[in-house]
Chains A and B, each alone.
Chain A
Amino acid sequence: MGNQSLLQAIMNPLRTWARVNSPFAIHFNSGSCNGCDIEILATLTPRYDIERFGIKLQGSPRHADVLICTGPVTRQARDRLVRIYEQMPDPKFVVAVGSCGISGGVFQGCYNIVGNLADVIPVHAFVPGCPPRPEAIIYGVVALLNSLKQPAPKAPDAEAVA
């Protein structure tokens, strides 16, 4: 037992360090107006160069650690969003970008809207704004990564999807 805990004492900080320093992201639009998506694309340009923090945009959900979501969840997109989320390997995190992902925004109460992102999948960080600036998106992701450094990361309030 003593041996195991020694190994864990070495490995756990190493694992956390690697997770904090190498978040691969995937971007999903579940029904936003594309305003936030344009800002996310601007975040990926050489001007902001998020590869400095090790953040890379990946095509495959299997490769990603962070799901960057925009917009409210439409009835059409709900199943796809859940599927993308479930395809990601653990540990996985979700960042909601934009006002619509937080509360439904201007789409709140529409006939074709299920609700905000936290109604459908657990969300770890919210970035407010309509749309948020690239600096705000980077700040949101960095805040999420800093929360990983705490010994016991806070569990998301939202329920996992059934």
Chain B
Amino acid sequence: MSLAANSYYDRKGILATLGRDGLLQIILIANTILMLTPIVIMVFSAFKTTPEIFKAPFAIPDFTQWANFARIWSETNFLRYLLNSFVVTGASMVLILTLGTMAAYAIGRYAFTGANFILMFFLAGLTLPLKLAIIPLFMLMRDLSILNNQLSLIFVYTAMGLPTTVFIMTGFIRSLPNELEDAARMDGASEARIMWSIMLPLVRPALVIAGIQNVVPIWNDFFFPLVFIQNDSLKTLPQGLTTFMGEYTTDWGVLFSGLTLSAAPIILIYILLSKQFIAGMTSGAVK
């Protein structure tokens, strides 16, 4: 009928106006705020003194105040800890991804008796709380005489990371089409080359997922270094930063600036890899 009638009676409700997508956006924005708040408070607090933190925890700080960072630099072996964390995490990740991918490739691509048992054996690792085994592990490391040695951490982390890696990678590798492998075989590629040149580039998203899944807990781990490492020059970042946690007083400002520095590399890695990470998470859904 007339335009005026239409515009009045057809006025939409909020759900219709925003639509389902609009509602989703609101929920996602709320979720983002929830997730980012702790990180923002951490960064804010890194620029405040302890009394300031308690007086106005949410206030925007003076970003020219670098005193906390200066204290981290001068009063701890920060660079040493950072380097140690890199060495331990890096070595563990290399071992986890190499061994995990190779195991998953064998389980996923080759039909042999016991393949399922081996997969189950790896998966059983998911159910084991490693921390319960800390005393036997301690004795084991002592007998191997790698206590107070980064190898002890690398071994434990590798064992910790393999179950999820094998689980994620096996699923992905199994989903790759057989004809690709056949085509490469017709082209004259050896088994190793098929894995390296054809299959692995296709499971890169899965590698990134497995990598992020493992790198965060290993980088942040406090428990195993606390037990295995006494030597200050071998301490990792989370352990080293406890210098500022006293029995009676804690210098929160310095601690937060240390945490900010410690979280930065992981956040950076995540941002750099997030495109692949998301591609990997959704690749099953859209194919």
Question: Is the pairing of A and B real?
Answer: no
Name B residues whose Cβ lies closer than 8 Å to a Cβ of A. Answer: none
